[in-house]
Amino acid sequence: MGLEEEIEDLREEISNTPYNKSTEQHIGRLKAKLAEKKEKLERQSSSGGGHGYAVEKTGDATVGLVGFPSVGKSTLLNALTNAESEVGEYEFTTLDVNPGMLKYNGANIQMLDVPGLIEGAAGGRGGGQEVLSVVRTTDLVVFLLSVFEIQHYDRLCEELYANKVRLDTSPPSLSISKTGKGGLRVTTTDDVALDEGTIKSVLREHGYVNADVTIRGDCTIDELIDGIQDNRVYLPSIVAVNKADLIDKDYLPTVEENLREHGLDPEEVVFISAEEERGLDALKEKIWEALGMIRVYMDKPGRGVDYEEPLVLREGENTVDDALRKLGGSLDERFRFARVTGPSAKHDEQQVGRDHELQDEDVMRVVARR
Ligand SMILES: Nc1nc2c(ncn2[C@@H]2O[C@H](COP(=O)(O)OP(=O)(O)OP(=O)(O)O)[C@@H](O)[C@H]2O)c(=O)[nH]1
């Protein structure tokens, strides 16, 4: 039996087995087997080369624009990114991915129009796999849906999931250290609902015989497998609904209902018209927030505060130390302390060290040795 057939058989068995406490361990083993075989198949099919796009990332962050053909991706990209702006030199192995630079709040946000994300893309048909691999390198996924085709959202999510992109969730807290003997020793926090037997059988299918394993926080079998295989990408996502100009007020409740049916909150999506350039400010703001971007205005000796070109940081990389690294030059070595005024400061001109976490719209002056 070939790998593909084995995968099909496993899929069928999983879907035919009811999930309950008594079958959990069995399902765990099947799912782990399936995941391993899928990995193997992927390794085989990718060994022919030609995999992956070379996308040169540039700017403060990169956004992948994902949607079905003709939803208006190119129109939106043109509307959001300034054609005159310096887009820079990009090296693409093909021209299928169109880059553009969105300038917002002083930040340069690289936008990649990712076309060709079509049915079966994650299965490797139609070259979609390479395109999907571009999405894995971005910092944020922006789904673009047509106001008439909200249902496409499910399909897009499935394609990304199959390509190991996990949206709006974090990896399971899992640590595995191999030991020489003693079998599998599993420690979990109280909130972990998975059975120890299930956890062990999933680990065994992945080749672990002797190991100390700790899991903190509840997770599903699939999330556990994600954590063990350790090659998933975790990204935030937002949804924009395009062609809003084509509907009138009476149709809006229908769209909202469709959104809810597909697990989307109408309050959270951004309605836009790329063609008429409406709703774009709200979309830019949403992108900014989802990327967790932070502006720091530098107070430069003798030149005052530069409000035009802030230093742009991201949440999680927003300490004074991160700022120094991004500023470059010798400032890092000569740093003595910084003075910060703004949201992160207890008072104006607060003296802070390298560990201080900056917030959006702080003003910072670096005091350095000469
Ligand atoms: N009415 C209306 N039409 C739009 C809007 N945005 C895009 N269109 C139209 O929809 C069609 C497809 O737009 P594109 O921007 O080429 O779509 P795309 O997603 O880039 O399509 P592919 O290149 O096939 O992936 C064009 O005829 C656009 O003029 C919109 O907001 N309102």
Query: Which tens digits make up the pLDDT trace of 69-98?
Result: 888 888 899 899 864 433 344 443 334 677
Minimum-distance ligand 1 atom for the alpha carbon of 116: 25
Instruction: Give me 23's structure tokens.
Output: 């079958």
Q: What is the pLDDT of residue 20?
A: 87
Quote the Cα angle for 106-74-267, to 5°: 70
Q: For the chain, how many residues are written? A: 370
Is ligand 1 within 6 A of the CB of residue 73?
yes
Is ligand 1 within 6 A of the CB of residue 277?
no
Which residue is associated with the tokens 């070379």? Answer: 54
* Domains contained in the chain, number: 3
Residue 362 near residue 297 (C-beta atoms within 8 A)? yes
Q: How far is residue 208's CA from residue 348's CA, in Å, rounded to a whole number? A: 55
CA 70 to ligand 1 center in whole angstroms: 5
CATH number at residue 360: 3.10.20.30
Domain boundary among 231, 251, 275: 231
Considering the domain boundaries, does residue 7 fall inside one? Answer: yes
Range of the domain at 28: 3-49+172-231
Domain boundary among 181, 204, 231: 231
Burial class of residue 358 in the structure, from the number of CB atoms within 10 Å of its CB (0-12 exposed, 13-18 middle, 19+ buried): buried
DSSP H or E run through 314: strand 304-314
Nearest residue (by CA) to ligand 1, atom 12, is 70
What is the value of ipTM here, to two decimals?
0.97
CA 78 to ligand 1 center in whole angstroms: 11
Q: Ligand 1 pocket test: which of 73, 75, 77, 243 has the largest number of ligand atoms within 8 Å of its C-beta? A: 75
| Ranges of the chain with pLDDT below 50 | 48-52, 83-95, 119-126
239 shares a domain with 156: yes
Is ligand 1 within 6 A of the CB of residue 100?
no
Each residue's pLDDT tens digit, 276-289:
999 999 999 999 99
Is ligand 1 within 6 A of the CB of residue 138?
no
210 shares a domain with 121: no
